[in-house]
Amino acid sequence: MSEPNRSVKVNTEHLEIKQHDLKVSTVVFMIFCLCAAGAYGIEEMIPESGPGLTLVMLIVLPFVWSTPLGLVASELGSARPQEGGYYKWVQEALGEYWGFQAGWWRTISIYIDNTLYVILAGGYLAGSMDLSPVYEMAFKVGMILIFTYINIRGVRDVGIVSTILSILVIIAFGMVAVVGFLNWTQNPFVPFTADGEIMGTAGIEFGD
């Protein structure tokens, strides 16, 4: 009699993950592009929320949101270096259901986030160069095709492009910061909110 079929479980815990020869600077710039791709939205944020409240949010958010996530990713990435990242970490800790949810939510957020960048970039260019809707759409399609091609080519090319774009962004923001400090004549936190009032206190305004 032949032996019954037995399910064989393969332990993939110790299998080597794919290695990429990337410089530390390249990885840093890739992370920068993922976390701080630009100042999109600040133009609307300042008049809607107020200069002071906008500055407080920009100062506080990295410490209450980005730093904890960065520490979690760095520690788990060192302790559990697996393909899949946080999807695998959530799966191991909470099971397949929540692992799937974490991966699905991240996928949806990436689609929405990347779509917003294309729309915002096209809107900025159309507004500054007075482009027609047809040319604006052509720019958006071209932007999608170019960056899709770069991602298909692999992580090495993504790292090179991320490095170049990050350096350009840092230079641009550095120039704006220098000009801003040289022309600093008033308290940037005043007014704190859009209506000139202290948050939560009606009728009390900041002085000049």
Percentage of residues in the chain having pLDDT higher than 90: 17
pLDDT value for 20: 62
What's the rounded mean pLDDT across residues 90-96? 90
Going by C-alpha positions, the residue among 123, 115, 111, 82 that lies closest to residue 99 is 82
Look at 166 and 3; give whichever has higher pLDDT: 166
Q: What is the pLDDT of residues 142-172, one digit of tens each?
A: 999 998 999 898 888 888 888 898 888 889 8
Q: What is the pLDDT of residues 11-67, one digit of tens each?
A: 444 445 556 666 777 777 777 777 665 666 677 888 888 889 999 988 898 888 878
Region of residue 20 (left: phi > 0; alpha: psi -120 to 50; beta: else): beta
CA distance 183 to 175: 12
pLDDT value for 3: 47
Residue 192 burial (10 A CB sphere; 0-12, 13-18, 19+): buried
pTM recorded for the entire structure: 0.64
Tokens 């993939």 — which residue?
12
Going by C-alpha positions, the residue among 188, 198, 149, 161 that lies closest to residue 32 is 161
Is the pLDDT confidence value at 186 over 80?
yes
pLDDT value for 140: 93
Residue 168 in contact with residue 37, Cβ under 8 Å? Answer: no
pLDDT value for 87: 83
The number of residues in the chain equals 208
Q: What's the mean pLDDT when you consider all of the chain?
A: 79
Phi, psi of 202, deg, nearest 5: -75, 145
